[in-house]
Chains A and B, each alone.
Chain A
Amino acid sequence: MVTAAPGHQRLAFAVMLIVLIVAPFVVYPVFLMKALCFALFACAFNLLIGYVGLLSFGHAAFLGGAGYASAHAAKVWGLPPEVAIVVGTLVAALLGAVIGALTIRSRGIYFANITLAFAQMVYFFALQAKFTGGEDGIQAVPRGVLLGLLDLRRPYVIYFTVLAIFVFGFLIVHRAIHSPFGQVLKAIRENEPRAVSLGYRAEHYKLIAFVLSATLSGLAGATKALVFQLASLTDVHWTMSGEVVLMTLLGGLGTVFGPVVGAFILIGLENYLAQLGAWLTVVQGAIFVVCVLTFRRGVVGELGRWLGKPL
């Protein structure tokens, strides 16, 4: 059974697309590109927590790992941007396959804890390996010319490239959720023993979802590295893993548009509160606490409930 997206979700998607096409002419494009990269990251993360019920606390490894790989490919190997992004994404997929194979049998808090530890391993690797540049990161990554045609140094060209990548990733997540594969994932989330008794290899499905989530996180990280011409330790640190949890939670766990909304709110906050230094951490923490205690459906989840239609 293949389920199509309900009409109101198509409408919401159209609205989102129009807003994102008009936005760079109104709002600072670099801010929008940052938010789009994180929105894709959060959507990829949401695939796991929202539809499989697994909380990964180590997704920074995929974002940051892919960032380093694509930055290295573009700067040192001199590869064109499309190839560099593919290299970064593949590295994240590989990392996801290895970490996923080792962690997927655990669940709940154990899973969160173990993914966190593996991500920390990746962090220390990035801190010490030669090619990552340690504390400096990989700086001045060339953006290059996409497919030999589109010069990514021009602001609108790179904005619409990033938007295209985001929409591509968003639609993949959407496709996965609304496919028979997605139905099996939901069945596993709701009642794993029953799904197993019906003949589905639950671990197999969960691993595929994990690798898919890691790959798309990698796509976000690889793109981000080219946009900001920088791959740094910030993106592999465990606070980044926490940040993506916060974005998804704030927007709404298991909603289609929640991660996007959450990413835009949080990146916006970071933008405006940047001069406040450590207060930003306090505000983020407070949002976490308030969300968990009183606002567990998130912005989009509450909106969907109010409209009576899941968004």
Chain B
Amino acid sequence: MTTQALFGQLLIGLINGAFYALLSLGLSVIFGLLNIINFAHGALYMMGAFVAYFLLQWAGLGYWWALLAAPLVVGLVGIGLERAMLRWLYQLDHLYGLLLTFGLALVIEGLFRNQFGSSGLPYGIPPQLVGTYNLGFMFLPVYRAWVVVFSLVVCLATWFVIERTRLGAYLRAATENPTLVQAFGINVPRMITLTYGFGVALAALAGVLAAPIYQVNPLMGANMIIVVFAVVVIGGMGSIMGSIVTGFALGIVEGFTKVFYPEASNTVIFVIMALVLLVRPAGLFGRTA
């Protein structure tokens, strides 16, 4: 085995880990406040990539605009979904939220597949990020380095806002006891709406980052979301730091598995999940229910 191959897989693992982290972070934030497993997360991630594609095709706006606009557009879509549908389900069994978002995912993915087929549409790397760094032991494509660093920054910023600011304190308080927080004069329903919007905006951001690497494909989210669910279970549902750390770590583990035992690379995350559940049913970073 060459070190080049080893580090190459490690890098791919890190990239996947960055997407796992961004997506599971969004899921965790949503789950914490809304108690909903957002099955539509993968579909909204895919929408993020498509917004980038549309911006380029129809408006000639490139990657950097997409990075700004896609989370906004998809976040607004999310806010619309929350206001129109999800909010009617809060007083019901949480399973209905899962079922509703599953249905939404089918609708969104079906519509895009109808329009664009199942093959990927190309999306170029922005000119500023083309090229590779020669690190001596391997060649590191600039764009991939950017994805890892940028998503790490976004993840840590999110963690900081939720765990270290006043706004985050309101959010955490509302997670614990929404009725009491509302009694203190904080508009909890609006906070819930914005939280859902923020969570899906993170998914859209991941979609834009993924577009130049995986192409823009209507099924890109469907393939991703199931793995991300396993990541969330391993990290412990609702844990912010847990989802960031497990996201990156599992990406790397997956990358290494591709080098040493490729047959298991698709299943390794699920095997880890089974093992973690045996030892810690609430996940690595989760509190026991």
* A243 and chain B: residue at smallest CB distance: B106
Stretch at the interface among A87-95, A111-119, A170-178: A111-119
For B289, list chain A residues within 8 Å (CB).
110
Interface residues in B, total, Cβ within 8 A:
43
Bits for B47-69, please: 1 = Cβ < 8 Å to A, else 0. Answer: 00000000000000000000000
Stretch at the interface among A69-77, A141-149, A282-290: A282-290
Given A102-B274, A109-B98, A279–B110 Cβ distance below 8 Å?
yes
Bits for A216-255, please: 1 = Cβ < 8 Å to B, else 0. Answer: 0000000000000000000000100010010001000000
Asked if B103 and A292 sit within 8 Å, CB to CB, the answer is yes
Given A102-B277, A114-B273, A296–B94 Cβ distance below 8 Å?
no
For A291, list chain B residues within 8 Å (CB).
99, 103
Bits for A93-134, please: 1 = Cβ < 8 Å to B, else 0. Answer: 000000000110110111011101110110011011000000
CB distance from B104 to the nearest CB of A (A): 6
Asked if B263 and A128 sit within 8 Å, CB to CB, the answer is yes
* A112 and chain B: residue at smallest CB distance: B98
Asked if B278 and A117 sit within 8 Å, CB to CB, the answer is no
Which residue, of A102, A279, A285, A288, has the highest number of chain B Cβ atoms within 10 A? Answer: A285
Asked if A120 and B37 sit within 8 Å, CB to CB, the answer is no
For A120, list chain B residues within 8 Å (CB).
226-227, 230, 270
Asked if B98 and A55 sit within 8 Å, CB to CB, the answer is yes
Chain A facing B: main interface SS: helix
CB distance from A286 to the nearest CB of B (A): 6
B153 at interface by CB-CB < 8 Å:
no
Bits for B106-122, please: 1 = Cβ < 8 Å to A, else 0. Answer: 11111101100000000
Asked if A292 and B270 sit within 8 Å, CB to CB, the answer is no
Asked if A282 and B110 sit within 8 Å, CB to CB, the answer is yes
A293 at interface by CB-CB < 8 Å:
yes
A199 at interface by CB-CB < 8 Å:
no
Asked if A124 and B103 sit within 8 Å, CB to CB, the answer is no
For A116, list chain B residues within 8 Å (CB).
226, 229
CA distance A290 to B108 in the complex (A): 15
Given A55-B98, A118-B270, A296-B96, A289–B104 Cβ distance below 8 Å?
yes
CA distance A278 to B98 in the complex (A): 22
CA distance A278 to B230 in the complex (A): 27
Which B residues between 22 and 49 are near A, CB-CB below 8 angstroms?
35, 37
Asked if A286 and B226 sit within 8 Å, CB to CB, the answer is no
Given A113-B232, A292-B99, A108–B94 Cβ distance below 8 Å?
yes
Asked if B270 and A279 sit within 8 Å, CB to CB, the answer is no
Asked if B95 and A117 sit within 8 Å, CB to CB, the answer is no
A277 at interface by CB-CB < 8 Å:
yes
CB distance from B51 to the nearest CB of A (A): 20
Bits for B262-289, please: 1 = Cβ < 8 Å to A, else 0. Answer: 0100110011011001100100000001
For B109, list chain A residues within 8 Å (CB).
281
Asked if A114 and B277 sit within 8 Å, CB to CB, the answer is yes
Asked if B267 and A109 sit within 8 Å, CB to CB, the answer is no
Given A108-B94, A117-B233, A124-B266, A287–B226 Cβ distance below 8 Å?
no
* A296 and chain B: residue at smallest CB distance: B96
For B263, list chain A residues within 8 Å (CB).
128
B237 at interface by CB-CB < 8 Å:
yes
CA distance A128 to B102 in the complex (A): 27
In the complex, which of the residues A103, A281, A289, A292 contacts B113, with contact meaning CB atoms closer than 8 Å? A281
Which residue, of A128, A249, A292, has the highest number of chain B Cβ atoms within 10 A? Answer: A292
For A110, list chain B residues within 8 Å (CB).
233, 237, 289
CA distance A128 to B270 in the complex (A): 15
Which B residues between 151 and 165 are near A, CB-CB below 8 angstroms?
none
In the complex, which of the residues B85, B89, B95 contacts A55, with contact meaning CB atoms closer than 8 Å? B95
CA distance A100 to B57 in the complex (A): 49
A sample of 11 cross-chain residue pairs with beta-carbon separation below 8 angstroms, ordered by A number, consists of A106-B281, A109-B35, A109-B94, A109-B98, A113-B233, A114-B273, A114-B277, A121-B271, A289-B100, A289-B104, A293-B100
* Chain B contacts to A: CB under 8 angstroms: 35, 37, 85, 88-89, 92-96, 98-100, 102-111, 113-114, 226-227, 229-230, 232-233, 237, 263, 266-267, 270-271, 273-274, 277-278, 281, 289
* Chain A contacts to B: CB under 8 angstroms: 55, 57, 102-103, 105-106, 108-110, 112-114, 116-118, 120-121, 124-125, 127-128, 238, 242, 245, 249, 277-282, 284-289, 291-293, 296
Question: What 14 new A-B contacts, CB under 8 Å, besides A282-B110, A285-B108, A286-B103?
Answer: A57-B98, A102-B277, A105-B281, A106-B277, A109-B237, A114-B277, A120-B230, A120-B270, A124-B266, A124-B267, A125-B267, A242-B106, A278-B114, A285-B110
